[in-house]
Structure 1
C-alpha cells in the first residue's frame, strides 16, 4: 500500500524549496523502499533547484543518504528488510559493454526505480540522481542500496553516497595515487577534502591543499594536507611547483571544475603527471589552450565520475576504515539539521564555513 510521507521538493527554477507530502508506492520488481535516517545537503541538490541539471521539475531533492530497507519488491535478492544501507546513484546493470569487460565502475546503463514517487495530486517527481532522499522514505532500485556495517553513524557514512566518495575515488580510483606520490588538490570543499583524505589513505607523502578560504585550508590540514596554498594570495602553480622540487605534483585534482582551475591543475602537474577533473563544470564553460602544451607533456588527463567507484566494493571498505578510526568521516559533518532546514543549508553554501549540513530524521 502506497505511503504518504514528508519530502523536500524544488517546484520551479530558483524558487525556495518546499516541505510537502509525497506519495511513495510499494516497491515493484527490483525495487526497495528505504526509511531514510540521514541525508547530506550537497551542491548537486542546489544545482537541481537552480535548474543547472535539467528542467524536469518538480524535483525531490537529496541523495547522500543512509537508512534502513523497509520493503523490497519481487526478484530482489541483494538486500532485505532491516538491512542498513548507503544509497548510491550507480546501480550497475551487469550487462552493458563496460560491465562485460570487467569495468562496472564505468557502467553505461545504470538504473533507478521504474515507478515514480508523486505529489498527492499525482504529479510525478524527479528524484535527484534517482534517489530523492530528503524524505522520510524513498523508493529506489534495489541495486542502489549498498549494505554496510549497521553500527556506523548514518550521518557520516551516508556522505559516501556522493561527495566524499567522489573525492576519495578521484584520488585512489581515478588518479591512482600511491605510496610516496605528491598530490595537489584545488578546491577544499567536501569533494576536495575527500580527495585529500583519499590521498592520505593511499600513502602520498606530499599533499598540497589549494583554496582561497583560510578556514577551508585549516580544515584541509585535518584531513591530511601537508601544505596549504591560499590562491588569493599566491600563484598556485608556482607554489605547487616550489613544494615539489620545481617539478610539479604527480597528481593534481581539480575539485572546482572551472576553466581557470583546470588550467592551474594542468600546469601544476609534473611532466608525466596526471590531472583529474572531479569538480563539475557548467555546460557553457569552454577552455582554449595551445595544443603544443598538450603534445609536450606526457601523463594523463582524466575526468572522474563519482570517483570511478563501485559501491559494492568501495562503500563497505571505507565504512570499515571509518569504524577502525582510519578515515574520519565524522569530520565532514559540520551540522545536523531537521528536514525543514534544507533551504537554510543552501544559504550557508554561499557564505562558506560548512562542509556538509546533514538532515537527520
Structure 2
C-alpha cells in the first residue's frame, strides 16, 4: 500500500523549497523502499533547486542518505527488511561496456527505480540523483542500497553517499595517492576536506590545504592537512609558489581541485610536480572555459589530468570499507556533521552552506 510522507520539494528555479506530501509506491521488481534516518544537505541539491542540473521540475531533493530497508520488490535477493544501508547513485548495471571491461565504477547505465514518486495530486517528481531522500521513506532501485555495519550512526554513514565519498575517492581512487606522496587540495569545503582525509588515510607525507577562508583552513587541519595557505588576493604565481615552498620547490605529486573553476584548475595544473597528477572533483558550470593555456605546457609537464566521477567509487566495495575504518577510529567522518536539523530546515541550510558556515547540515528523521 502506498505511503504518504512529508518531503522537501523544489517546484521552480531559484524558489525556496517547500515541505509537501509525497506518495511513495510499494516497490516493484528490483526496487526497495527505505526508511530514511538521516540525509546530508549537499551542494548538488542546491544546484537542482537553482536549475544547475536540468529543468525537470518539480524535484524531490536529498540524496546523501542512510536508513533501513523496509520493503523489497519481486526479484530482490540480496536485501531484506531491516538491513542498514547507505543509498548510492551508482547502482551498476553489470552489462555496459565499462562493466564488461572490469571498471564498474565508470558504469554508463546505472539503475534507478522505475516507478515515480508523486505529489498528492499525482504530479511525478524528479528525485535528486535518482534518490530523493529528504523524506521519511523513499523508493530506489535495490542496487542503490549498499549494506554497511549498522553500528555506524546514520547521520555519519549517509555522508558517504555523495560528497565525502567524492572527496575521499578523488584522493585514493582517482589520484592514487600513496605513502610518502605530497598532496595539495584547493578548496576546503566538505569535498576538499574529505580529499584531505583520504590523502591522510593513504599515507601522504605532505598535505597542503588552500582556501580563502581561515575558518575552513582550520577545519582542514583537523582532517589531516600538514600545511595551510590562505590564497585570498594571491595571484596564480603566488599560489603556485606557496605549494612549491612546501614541496622542496618542485610542486605536489597530486593536486586536487575541489572548487572547479578555470583559475583553480590552472593553479592545480601548474602547482604539481613534473609528471604529477591533477584531479578535478569540483563541478564547473557549463559556461566556464579554459583560455590562454599553451599546448606545449600540457606536453612538457607530463603526468595525468583526471576528473573524479563520484570519487571513482564502487559503493559495494568502498562504503563498507570506509565505515569499518570509521568504526576503528581511523577516519573522522563524524567531524563532517556540523549541525542536525529537521526537514523544514533545508532552505536555511542552503544559505549556511552557500556562506561557508557549515561542512554538512544533516536532516534527521525520527
**Paired residue for 1:303?**
307
Count of residues in correspondence between the two structures: 361
Which has the larger displacement, 35-44 or 230-239?
230-239
Tell me, yes or no, if the aligned pair for 2:98 and 2:107 is still in contact at 8 Å: yes
User: SS of 2:108's equivalent?
Assistant: coil
Tell me, yes or no, if the aligned pair for 2:189 and 2:356 is still in contact at 8 Å: no
Q: Distance in 2 between matches of 1:259 and 1:96?
A: 32
**Paired residue for 1:332?**
336
In the TM superposition, residue 79 of structure 1 has moved relative to its aligned partner by 1.1
Deviations 1:267-292 (A, max 9, x none): 00001100000000001111021111
Tell me, yes or no, if the aligned pair for 1:78 and 1:143 is still in contact at 8 Å: no
Q: Any unmatched runs of 5+ in structure 2?
A: none
**Paired residue for 1:255?**
258
User: SS of 1:264's equivalent?
Assistant: helix
| Aligned residue runs from structure 1 range 184-263, under 5 A | 184-234=184-234, 235-263=238-266
User: SS of 2:38's equivalent?
Assistant: strand
TM-score of the superposed pair, with normalisation by structure 2: 0.98
Deviations 1:237-276 (A, max 9, x none): 1100111011000000000000000000000000110000
Q: Distance in 1 between matches of 2:332 and 2:251?
A: 28
Q: Distance in 2 between matches of 1:350 and 1:81?
A: 37
In the TM superposition, residue 42 of structure 1 has moved relative to its aligned partner by 0.2
Deviations 1:46-70 (A, max 9, x none): 0000000000000000000000000
In the TM superposition, residue 233 of structure 1 has moved relative to its aligned partner by 5.0
Runs of 4+ in 1 over 4 A off after TM superposition: none
Tell me, yes or no, if the aligned pair for 2:41 and 2:363 is still in contact at 8 Å: yes
Q: Distance in 1 between matches of 2:119 and 2:44?
A: 22
Which has the larger displacement, 208-217 or 284-293?
284-293
Q: Distance in 2 between matches of 1:63 and 1:290?
A: 40
Tell me, yes or no, if the aligned pair for 2:14 and 2:50 is still in contact at 8 Å: yes
Q: Distance in 1 between matches of 2:354 and 2:162?
A: 20
Deviations 1:90-146 (A, max 9, x none): 000000111111110010110100000000100000000000000110000000000
Q: Distance in 2 between matches of 1:167 and 1:275?
A: 14
Alignment of 1:269 with 2:272, yes or no, is yes
User: SS of 1:334's equivalent?
Assistant: strand
Q: Distance in 2 between matches of 1:167 and 1:112?
A: 23
Deviations 1:146-175 (A, max 9, x none): 000011110011000000000000000000
**Paired residue for 1:64?**
64
Deviations 1:32-52 (A, max 9, x none): 000000000000000000000
Q: Distance in 1 between matches of 2:357 and 2:345?
A: 16
**Paired residue for 1:172?**
172
Tell me, yes or no, if the aligned pair for 1:2 and 1:23 is still in contact at 8 Å: yes
In the TM superposition, residue 353 of structure 1 has moved relative to its aligned partner by 1.9
Q: Distance in 1 between matches of 2:364 and 2:221?
A: 27
Q: Any unmatched runs of 5+ in structure 1?
A: none
TM-score of the superposed pair, with normalisation by structure 1: 0.99
In the TM superposition, residue 298 of structure 1 has moved relative to its aligned partner by 1.0
**Paired residue for 1:95?**
95
Tell me, yes or no, if the aligned pair for 2:87 and 2:145 is still in contact at 8 Å: yes
Q: Distance in 2 between matches of 1:350 and 1:90?
A: 26
Deviations 1:302-351 (A, max 9, x none): 00000000000000000000000000110000000011000000010122
**Paired residue for 2:78?**
78
**Paired residue for 1:4?**
4
Q: Distance in 2 between matches of 1:336 and 1:251?
A: 34
**Paired residue for 2:131?**
131
Q: CA RMSD in A?
A: 0.6
User: SS of 1:282's equivalent?
Assistant: coil
